[in-house]
Amino acid sequence: MTEPLATNEAAPPATQEHHIRTTRHGRFFTLGPADERAREVWFVLHGYGNLAQRFLRYFSPLDDGTRLIVAPEALNRFYLVPPEGASAKDRLVGASWMTKEDRQNEIDDYVRYLDAVADAVSARARRTVGVMTVVVGFSQGTATAARWVTTGRIRPRHLILWGGMLPPELELHRADHPLRQLSLRFVIGSDDGFATPALIGEQESRLRDARLPYELERFDGGHAIDAKPLRSIAASISAR
């Protein structure tokens, strides 16, 4: 329990903020062949409070022997229930890509981390030439995916933003913007409480104003990865 400050307590001294860059371990999970059988590589970025291994299960319908599906895990983990809810060994853990705190450093860190994941996947694969790359972001992962494609080294052919929007700081009017060099698709459930009609309308207006091509696909469902539209999207991508 937090103790209240005494009314006669002196004001705290002025503080100075400092930063250092450190090295830490990140993990990712894969599904499918990491060799010459893979014709597509899908990087799938989970939402707030999820973990990569749990999230990867939603993409098992795409595991047909021709796709390597890679799920990086956000570096910031936390317990999903308070200490009084369960003992530490029984408490579920989730992860977050960032918060508003130290925002730009958080973004820079995860972009470098995701680039490192992509490098590791390429190093393990026996063949990279001719392999199509797809990036999928879900919920909080939509902004993460868009920032990675915009400021990182990844250059996918397709970017799928599922249950979320582009981050507000992207300068979409730029003629050389990386989002103009790929197929951009938004996937929104009809009952998605986070991607509201107002937000969708604002997003579409922003994209039209920037004359940035995109597709919007709706499906019957909520704020979740749904197998039926996922299979349909994957089939359309493979056919192109």
- 29 contacts 56 by C-beta, under 8 angstroms: yes
DSSP for residue 8: T
Q: Any idea which of 85-94, 119-128, 178-187, 223-232 has the lowest mean pLDDT?
A: 119-128
- pLDDT(2) > 60: no
Assigned token pair, 224: 């979740």
- CATH second-level architecture of 28-239? 3-Layer(aba) Sandwich (3.40)
DSSP for residue 49: T
- pLDDT(32) > 60: yes
Q: Which residue has the higher pLDDT, 82 or 150?
A: 150
Pairing of strands 67-72, 28-31: antiparallel
CB burial class (10 A; 0-12, 13-18, 19+) of residue 50? buried
pLDDT band at 178 (very low <50, low <70, confident <90, very high): very high
Mean of the per-residue pLDDT values for the chain?
92
DSSP for residue 23: -
**In the prediction, which pLDDT does 46 show?**
98
- Give the sign of the dihedral formed by CA 35, CA 59, CA 155, CA 140: negative
Residues 6+ positions from 200 with CB-CB distance below 8 Å: 165, 186, 188, 216
Task: Report the run of H or E that residue 103 belongs to, with start and end.
Answer: helix 103-124
Residue pLDDT, tens place only, 33-63: 988 889 999 999 999 999 999 999 999 999 9
First CA to last CA across the chain, in angstroms? 58
Assigned token pair, 194: 């986070």
CB burial class (10 A; 0-12, 13-18, 19+) of residue 238? middle
What's this model's pTM, rounded to 2 decimal places? 0.91
The ranges assigned to domains in the chain are 28-239
pLDDT band at 82 (very low <50, low <70, confident <90, very high): confident
- 214 contacts 170 by C-beta, under 8 angstroms: no
- pLDDT(208) > 70: yes
Residue pLDDT, tens place only, 99-111: 999 999 999 999 9
Question: Looking up tokens 């969708």, which residue turns up?
Answer: 200
Residue pLDDT, tens place only, 114-131: 999 999 998 876 555 578
pLDDT band at 7 (very low <50, low <70, confident <90, very high): low
> What is the rounded distance in angstroms from the CA atom of residue 28 to the CA atom of residue 14?
41
